[in-house]
Amino acid sequence: MPDAPFDLRGLKLSVVMPVYNERATIEEILRRVEATGLAHEIIAVDDASTDGTRGVLEGLPPGRVRLLGHDANRGKGRAVRTGIEAATGDIILIQDADLEYDPADYPALLKPIVDGVADVVVGSRFLGGPHRVLYFWHYQGNRLLTTLSNVLTNLNLTDMECCYKVFRAEILRRLVLRSERFGIEPELIARVAQLGCRIYEVPVSYFGRDYAHGKKITWRDGLAALWHILRFALTRPRLRPASPDRPERRE
């Protein structure tokens, strides 16, 4: 007997998808997100793609995706911020467009928030989910960055850089985020730790791609991440006023 559909209990999910040069995968990842039946809205933010991705998105049937775009390439962080600013749901989930992460993991990612025990859920590629075996030094670099982030935030995450991060939307709406590129990952973790959010971590599948198939992050981004971890851990978050009808914290 098939599993019963996951129940969001009246909450609306906004999926924020930063997109840059993903013509080969964009239609498939949208199909997979839609197949979950969980997304109230999918917000695709095209970060000035040069490979025809924008044309593919513009050619989709009306209402299938909310398409936003940048006139110049600004980086993943800025695309995520643009999507967050436009999201209308109660929960916001960040989804890459490159098929490395599987939307079939949405129920596991959403459950702690829907159950009321978490404010933030972070996926982990290293907690037992199936994953493609790839680069040894990327793995070691990720461990180093995650350890440094944990030291400065007093968390015990295993995969700070994982794409899958899910938030109660009112938390993100209060944060004034600054990152333009991949610094968005340590910035988000530092800020929710500083706010005292209830953070859960769950295993996710990972189908990593290599550079021949479009992987974009490089060792330069790893070095930049060291700076961003220090920068955001040692500065206080800028906050917008809380909405009077939306408490910042739910116990």
Residue 241 belongs to a domain: no
Q: For residue 164, is it left (φ>0), alpha (ψ between -120 and 50) or beta?
A: beta
CA-based nearest residue to 100, from 183, 187, 157, 17: 17
Residue 5 belongs to a domain: no
**Number of CB atoms found within 10 A of residue 208's CB:** 17
Q: What is the pTM of this model?
A: 0.90
CA-based nearest residue to 171, from 209, 199, 144, 143: 199
Residue 226 belongs to a domain: yes
Tens digit of pLDDT at every position of the chain (251 positions):
457 789 999 999 999 999 999 999 999 999 999 999 999 999 999 999 999 999 999 999 999 999 999 999 999 999 999 999 999 999 999 999 999 999 999 999 999 999 999 999 999 999 976 666 556 667 788 899 999 999 999 999 999 999 999 999 999 999 999 999 989 999 999 999 999 999 999 999 998 755 454 455 666 767 888 999 999 999 999 999 876 554 444 43
Residue 37 belongs to a domain: yes
Residue 153 belongs to a domain: yes
Residue numbers of the domain that contains 64: 13-233
Q: Put the strands of the sheet holding 120-124 in their side by side order.
A: 66-69, 39-46, 13-19, 91-94, 165-168, 120-124, 199-203
Residue 147 belongs to a domain: yes
Strand pairing partners for 45? 18, 68
Query: Which domain CATH number covers 77?
Result: 3.90.550.10
Residue 250 belongs to a domain: no
Residue 212 belongs to a domain: yes
Distance CA 98, CA 96 (A): 6
Distance CA 23, CA 20 (A): 9
The alpha carbon of residue 220 and the mean position of all alpha carbons in its chain are separated, in whole angstroms, by 21
Counted domains in the chain: 1
